[in-house]
Amino acid sequence: MRAFDYVRVASLDDAMAARAQGSDAVYLAGGTTLLDLMKLDVMRPARVVDIHRLDLDRIEVLGDGRVRVGAMVTNTELARNEHIRTAYPVLSEALLSGASTQLRNKATTAGNVMQRVRCGYFRDGVSACNKREPNSGCSAVGGLNRNVHAVLGGSDQCFAAHPSDMCVAMAAIGATVQVQGPNGAARDVDFLDFHLLPGDTPWKEHALGDGEIITHVTLDAPLAHSRSGYLKLRDRASYQFALASSAAILVLDGSTIRDARLALGGVATKPWRAQNAEAVLKGQPASPDTFRRAAAVALDGARSYGQNGFKIALGQQAVFRNLSSLVA
């Protein structure tokens, strides 16, 4: 790890000012991604701004049914919150399926949103990686790409999968990311627009502007009378990133699907909302045939890069099994 300046702040204004003093400064929350990458010499900030003392650690139920989650709320606090467990079980399940208890106790909501890819070529510091070193190439093309590489949303420049479980659930629920920039400028970003597809610029991972910081993530109001769940398929049952995952929310009118939300993880370069599959589900009987059609449509456009081709069928299985379990 390289030498860096360390500053602890107690307000958003102080955080902005401290970051503005260096062109290569980063915010430190839980540090579960940042510190790993600094130790690997992948991220080399000259200044680290510690934001632990910011008053952004509350979960608030708003008058319109939405829930505002502070950027510093830990994954454990969010998963165990009674309102989240009742109104958004898919989110609680997704959080509890990720990492270990110790990591969930440290990892924060905003840090999870900003989580970076687990691609070994990105993290080894020496392989060709367009995300780490723009226009240097992508060693995953033709290389080892079974586990943490996507079949949806990728390009020949980068097809590393987004690793977060929490973000898949939030994509299904619907959410807004509140950010604040220098001089108090605040704006809202739709959650589905926050993470960027790699395209020709895989080093651009999110919609944050220069100097901006996430302050809250506000969840859409839960669908009335809904049932939801998160299914994560992986090589081993714990402490493993998803090969394929599914976050599903259904509203039934008898045996007919009145409304549906569906998102995929492990198979895409960003939290992947399968709105095409949702359209297949709405107004149809909650039957195995319907779920199979939706699962097939959810992976429309999927592309194999070699070893990761099995994820197309596995992603379909994640959708079908999750939907089936919700109506069992």
* pLDDT at res. 183: 80
Q: Which CATH class is domain 226-327?
A: alpha beta
C-alpha span between 318 and 216 (Å, rounded): 30
Q: Where are the domains of the chain?
A: 5-49, 226-327
| Burial 21-34, CB ≥16 within 10 A → b, else e | ebeebbbbbbbbbb
Q: Are 182 and 20 in contact (CB under 8 A)?
A: yes
88-101: pLDDT as tens digits: 999 999 999 998 99
Give the residue from 232, 213, 270 showing the smallest Cα distance to 72.
213
Q: Are 69 and 79 in contact (CB under 8 A)?
A: no
Q: Are 67 and 37 in contact (CB under 8 A)?
A: no
* pLDDT at res. 227: 98
Q: Are 44 and 50 in contact (CB under 8 A)?
A: no
Concatenated DSSP letters of 241-309: --SEEEEEEEEEETTEEEEEEEEEESSBSS-EE-HHHHHHHTTSBSSHHHHHHHHHHHTTT----SGGG
Structure tokens at 95: 């959080």
C-alpha span between 30 and 64 (Å, rounded): 30
C-alpha span between 83 and 197 (Å, rounded): 32
Q: Write down the residue that tokens 């020709």 correspond to.
A: 200
Tell me the pLDDT of the chain (328 aa) as tens digits.
799 999 999 999 999 999 888 778 999 999 999 999 999 999 999 999 999 999 999 999 999 999 999 999 999 999 999 999 999 999 999 999 998 999 999 999 999 999 999 999 999 999 999 999 999 999 999 999 999 999 999 999 999 999 999 999 999 999 999 999 988 889 999 999 999 999 999 999 999 998 899 999 999 999 999 999 999 999 998 889 999 999 999 999 999 999 999 999 999 999 999 999 999 999 999 999 999 999 999 999 999 999 999 999 999 999 999 999 999 9
C-alpha span between 320 and 17 (Å, rounded): 49
282-324: pLDDT as tens digits: 999 999 999 999 999 999 999 999 999 999 999 999 999 999 9
* pLDDT at res. 211: 86
Give the residue from 35, 73, 318, 102 showing the smallest Cα distance to 214.
73
Structure tokens at 21: 């003093």
